[in-house]
Amino acid sequence: MLFDVKYGWRQWRGQRGIWAVLIISLCLFCSLIGFVTNLLWLLSSDRPQWVNQTSPLITVANQDFNGNLQPTSEYDIALLQQLSAVQTVASVAVQTAVVSVGIKEIPGLRIGFYTDTLLPLLGLPEPFSQQGFEAKKAILSSQFWHKHTNAKALSQLSLYYQNQVLPIAGVAPASMDKLGNIQIDLWLPDSYLLLDVPQMFTDNPALYINSKGNRYGFALLNKAIPITQLQQAYSTLRQQTPRPQGGFIDSQFTSWLIDGVELKPIERDMLHKQAWILMVLLVCFGFIIFSSIVSAYMQQGIVRQSEMQLKLALGGDKKQLISQLFKENIPAFAALIIIAPILVYGILQYVSHIPVYRSYFVTGLSFNLGLWVAAVTISVSLYWLCAQIPMLGIMTTQFSRGQRGQMTKAQQRMSQLTLVAQLTVIVSVIILSLVLSFSEWQKYQKVSFLPDLYSYEPKVTSPLSLALTAQQLEGQWQVAGKAVALSSARFTALGDQGLQYNTSNNSGISKPINGLYVSSNFFDLLGIKYLIPATLTTNSVTVNRTMASQLADELNLNHWQDIQGITLNVTGFYYQKQFTITAIVEDQLHFGLNQSPSPVMYLHLSAQNPLFAHRIAPVFYSRTANPELVGSRINEWASLQSTHLSYISNGTLAQQIINTDPAGKLLFITSFAMAIMICLLVVFTLYYRFHFAVKVQQLKLAILLAVGGQKNTLMLHIIRLNVSLMAIAALCAGILMLAIDDYSISLLGVSMWQPMLWLYGIVFCTLLIIAITFLAAKRILRHSISRLLQG
């Protein structure tokens, strides 16, 4: 066997570089295909691991103006029970509170208050039980147990909430540490919500508890039903059912029913999209690999056909020859089995640090060994079949001592067809990468904020009682010699989205509106362009262009500029005030790079709802070359206000906006990395293929040179043939990309038909083919005629 291995290694003399590239590429392909298939398999489940219910389930929530998932109210969840397709509903209310562990107070803990129907509806694991719910026992999260307690046993632990002792049932599984993107520290029966009802609602606590928008609902269905049909019925029911008066106002968010138990639908869709795009690119990568392996062994088959026929003529057995070819390729099989697991480990380590994966897969992204073994087995089998190519044709041809090593007409046509297919794939991949790259570049061009504009976000660990000065509200406050602007919420997360408005001469239903409270210098400091300039005051309001157009349509005005001077009635939770529109600004990227503009009103910071304005710490903005110094001075101010208040820098405002598009960034990086790998693989394989194609014609080329042919003319002829094949591949790629254009628009939101990018992609591929052909041909034709005649 050792002789066969050494003999097979010698057969790759002069082509060991492409052999190594193909084997490593095949190992990478097996690792990536195992990872992607496992990812798609994990995403195929519509419920997390801790849900032990197999019947059809749905999640009930709201969708805000930014397209993000938001909690809803118990009233809206209970309303779903009226639909005939729904068997039962349950909910979890999430609130931040202070819990005492012994004599130590721990602020800012997230508590999940669950209803008794949640236990059978989701089939929650131990220590959740009906007896524990009735006994009002608390369940600790795994993270809380390890982080905040030093007790060796639960019996030694004392917990207090709202001055009441919490009996402990146990510790929840680690997979339940997060409910969607929310870290849950404690699970309590929803009866504890009565301890947190304000005094004004003591006569009717259910009104406060059930109308508060802090719940995520789940419903058990009688049978599986299309979610669109159920969504339509539920939306109609909400519109027809009046909301109880006196509680929290309806946020007017869009109701959102989601298949299964899923509280991170945006991340799921993003990962699902990225996985399928990666799968498509991997299929292209795999096609290039296996077509290159076929080409490499076809070249060997052409060279070794005489050898195989001679062995048969001398009495060799076909089974022995097949066994010999298998033994010759043992190093390739061994490399595949050894290198692929190392690459798998490296991929998993890299992916585990990507925020999107780390956020969605709470307990880590598991690896399915079976799927990987299947990928390796299939790859090894295909490789072994390719290794038998030198055996093809020797059954029907007779042994001859004549010169061998020339390609037949059929082999030439097969080689050209394979080349066209490879070029079609690479053209398509390059165009896809160009389209995605250009789409991302266009998004980034929307960000117009200066690179020295920083924001500082508050970190609050306990309830505040904050009073801002007139200088801060009017934008006259300076920190470290730099002007500072304020807003009630982070720029990319608008604050009071529960605001509603109507015009003073319109007594119709109020409409929901995004609102942001800012200081008077907010627009000037951030460099936001005024369309109609005016100074923001306590009794005025500034609106963006989209809201101006919306108001003009509502009031039947001729132009959006005509809304200046109109009075708006703005209402909120126990709050109502009139404001006059004085200024209009350009639409801003409050909703991220991917969201279309929505109506926004900017109110003066002093006009916040007095019920909770003193509890809201503002976000600070400053233009500075030394953000650390400004941050430290802001923290000095914060320490004087409260020991529970501090500020952290969020970096530049431009980078914050760019970070709102992790999907596009991940998709771009993935496709770009795969495109580079495919390009590199194509460069290596095409170089060796073109070199071999010239080498098998070496005798013919030598004769042509001997009778007066010119090297440049011969080289131009070879290049012209490959360029014509490139033209056919470009046409095939065009037909393919046009056929999938509708799918790309629905899946990626971009069209594949972009003529300029097509032109750039085809020109790049053509130049690449010319360069590779020139280098491969030059390597042969640089020799003298006598050397070429020797073979």
pLDDT digits (tens, 9 = 90+) for 14-39: 566 667 777 888 888 887 887 788 78
Residues 118 and 38: their CA atoms lie apart, in Å, by 30
Is 50 exceeded by the pLDDT of residue 399?
no
Q: What is the pLDDT of residue 42?
A: 79
Residue 661 near residue 750 (C-beta atoms within 8 A): no
Is 60 exceeded by the pLDDT of residue 401?
no
Helix (H, G, I), strand (E, B) or coil at 240: helix
Helix (H, G, I), strand (E, B) or coil at 650: strand
Q: Which tokens in the block code for residue 141? A: 């999260």
Q: What is the DSSP letter of 72?
A: B
Residues 371 and 365: their CA atoms lie apart, in Å, by 14
Q: Which tokens in the block code for residue 217? A: 């609902």
Helices (H) and strands (E) in the chain, counts: 25, 26
Least Cα distance to 486 among 634, 641, 633 occurs for 634
pLDDT per residue as tens digits for the range 403-438: 444 556 666 777 778 778 878 888 887 887 788 778
Q: How confident is the model at residue 66 (pLDDT cuts 50, 70, 90)?
A: low
In this structure, of 48-62, 66-80, 155-169, 420-434, the range with the lowest mean pLDDT score is: 420-434
Is 60 exceeded by the pLDDT of residue 8?
no
DSSP lists the bridge partners of residue 517 as 603
Least Cα distance to 188 among 175, 212, 172 occurs for 172
Sign of CA dihedral 257, 259, 261, 262: negative
In this structure, of 215-219, 387-391, 399-403, the range with the lowest mean pLDDT score is: 399-403
Determine the average pLDDT of the residues in 106-110. Answer: 84
Q: CA separation (Å) from 465 to 299, 619, 645, 737?
A: 80, 16, 11, 60
pLDDT-above-90 percentage for the chain: 22
Long-range contacts, 19-23 (Cβ 8 Å, 24+)? 19/296, 19/332, 21/681, 21/684, 21/685, 22/289, 22/292, 22/293, 22/296, 22/685, 23/332, 23/335, 23/336, 23/339
Residue 318 near residue 308 (C-beta atoms within 8 A): no
CA atoms within 13 A on the CB side of 358: 8
Q: What is the pLDDT of residue 140?
A: 93
Query: Any idea which residue has 């079976």 for tokens?
Result: 370
Q: What is the pLDDT of residue 232?
A: 92
Q: What is the pLDDT of residue 776?
A: 75
Please count the other Cβ atoms lying within 10 Å of the Cβ belonging to residue 458. Answer: 18
What secondary structure does DSSP assign to 89-156, as a single string? Answer: EEEEEEEEEEEEETTEEEEEEEEEEE-TTHHHHHTPPTT--HHHHHTT-EEE-HHHHHHH---SSGGG
**Highest-confidence segment of 110-114, 288-292, 672-676:** 110-114
- In this structure, which amino acid lies at residue 715? M
Q: How confident is the model at residue 540 (pLDDT cuts 50, 70, 90)?
A: very high
Residues 524 and 232: their CA atoms lie apart, in Å, by 44
- Could you give phi then psi for residue 595, rounded to 5 degrees? -90, 145
Per the model's pLDDT, the better-predicted residue between 313 and 124 turns out to be 124
Determine the average pLDDT of the residues in 575-598. Answer: 84
Q: Which tokens in the block code for residue 15? A: 């082509």
Residue 96 near residue 161 (C-beta atoms within 8 A): no
Q: CA separation (Å) from 237 to 153, 233, 253, 510, 571?
A: 49, 6, 15, 20, 25
Is 50 exceeded by the pLDDT of residue 595?
yes
pLDDT-above-70 percentage for the chain: 82
Q: How confident is the model at residue 393 (pLDDT cuts 50, 70, 90)?
A: low
Question: Which residues neighbour 68 within 8 Å (Cβ) at sequence distance 6 or greater?
Answer: 266
pTM, 2 dp = 0.70
596: buried, middle or exposed (CB in 10 Å: 19+, 13-18, 0-12)? Answer: exposed
Element (H, E) at 511: strand 511-512
Q: How confident is the model at residue 305 (pLDDT cuts 50, 70, 90)?
A: low
Parallel, antiparallel, or unpaired: how do β-strands 482-487 and 619-623 relate?
antiparallel
Is 80 exceeded by the pLDDT of residue 392?
no
Is 50 exceeded by the pLDDT of residue 682?
yes
Helix (H, G, I), strand (E, B) or coil at 644: coil
Is 60 exceeded by the pLDDT of residue 236?
yes
Residue 571 near residue 501 (C-beta atoms within 8 A): yes
DSSP lists the bridge partners of residue 171 as 140
Residue 452 near residue 654 (C-beta atoms within 8 A): no
Determine the average pLDDT of the residues in 634-639. Answer: 90
Q: What is the pLDDT of residue 77?
A: 93
Is 80 exceeded by the pLDDT of residue 689?
no
Q: What is the pLDDT of residue 322?
A: 67
pLDDT per residue as tens digits for the range 720-760: 888 888 899 889 888 888 888 887 777 666 788 888 888 88
Q: What is the pLDDT of residue 726?
A: 87
Helix (H, G, I), strand (E, B) or coil at 476: coil
Residues 515 and 494: their CA atoms lie apart, in Å, by 7
Q: What is the pLDDT of residue 542?
A: 94
